[in-house]
Structure 1
Amino acid sequence: MRDFLVRHPRLAKLAREVGRFGSVGAVAYVVQLGTTNLLWSAAGAGPLTGQVIGTLCSIGVAFAGNRFWTFGDRARTGYGRETVLFLAMNGVGMLIQLACLGFSVYVLDLDGPLAHNIAGNVVGVGLGTLFRFFSYRTWVFPEQPESPPREPVP
């Protein structure tokens, strides 16, 4: 396996990014899952309200981990720009989660903690995570453009 990754450095870099992204995502997921379930059970929040608040809490964890660790070797395009794009992409990811949960609750009429967790925290988070990884790599934390070699001026 090591020889394969040495021969394919772009794939090796992608594998490292996926591993780091997954680690950061696991920590953010624990924050989101804990907050969401606490709000649903102890605070009596509605399914969508609990999902939104739990996701918002996890976004801060995800931003710090992804900016400074997962994509730490990429071009720095400005803290403000990265923050705005990160929040926008997470907004889309959250809409994916809410669509899955809303479909389960309001269309399929599946209500209860297990149904909420499967729809919002498994299916919704899974689909949202795929979108987030692609959007972070592509737009939020882009690769440094390779500068062409400069020719000496005569």
Structure 2
Amino acid sequence: MKLLEFKRILRFTAVGLSAAAIHYVSVVILVETLSTAPLLANIAGFLISFWMSYFGHRFWTFGDHASINNNSFLRFLATASLGFAMNELLFYLMLTYTSIPYTIALAIAVVTVAISTYFLSRLWAFRSQRTLHS
């Protein structure tokens, strides 16, 4: 593995863990303090953490890429939305068909989706301009 790719994975992990923590804490606060339904709180948690994730990945994780273009945001939005749809589906299935507490189900859903989100971000959302046009 090249050093640059290793650094990118570490940065992705740091940004992803930060965004996941914001997402997770937001959900727990909404559920525990406002009695928001967990699935609805999950949507709010995603929306809250989305911006931290986008700017962290855009300027730090993939900032060394020639990926600074107008389409990066739209591709990241599509990537994040797909990841969130998978997260919400998995969360729903665990809440509906298991007795797992929502806090554990949410953690499982967030971690499960993180790997696919990295590859979608790396290979498509923040793909370099050179690669896109070749």
The answer to whether TM tops 0.5 is yes
Counterpart for residue 96 of structure 1: 86
Letter in 2 for 1:129: A
Match of 1:134 among 119, 122, 128: 119
Q: Which string of whole-angstrom CA distances, capped at 9 and with x for unpartnered residues, describes residues 89-126 of structure 1? A: 11111112112211111122x26xxx212112x21111
Match of 1:124 among 106, 109, 119: 109
Structure 1 ranges of 4+ moved more than 6 A: none
Query: Aligned equivalents of 1:99 and 1:20: distance in 2?
Result: 27
Root-mean-square deviation (CA), in Å? 1.6
Letter in 2 for 1:92: L
Letter in 1 for 2:96: Y
**Structure 2: segments with no counterpart, 5+ residues:** none
Point out the structure with the larger helix share: 2
Query: Aligned equivalents of 2:93 and 2:124: distance in 1?
Result: 29
Query: Aligned equivalents of 1:91 and 1:51: distance in 2?
Result: 13
Q: Is the 8 A contact 2:22 2:49 kept in 1?
A: yes
Query: Aligned equivalents of 2:67 and 2:89: distance in 1?
Result: 33
Query: Aligned equivalents of 2:89 and 2:17: distance in 1?
Result: 22
**Number of residue-to-residue matches in the alignment:** 131
1:24 pairs with 2:10: no
Report the alpha carbon displacement of residue 143 of structure 1 after superposing the two structures with TM: 3.3
Report the alpha carbon displacement of residue 144 of structure 1 after superposing the two structures with TM: 5.0
Question: TM-score if structure 1 supplies the norm length?
Answer: 0.78
Greater relative contact order, per chain length (Cα 8 Å cut-off, separation 6+)? 2
Please say which structure displays the higher CA radius of gyration.
1
**Structure 1: segments with no counterpart, 5+ residues:** 1-9, 147-154
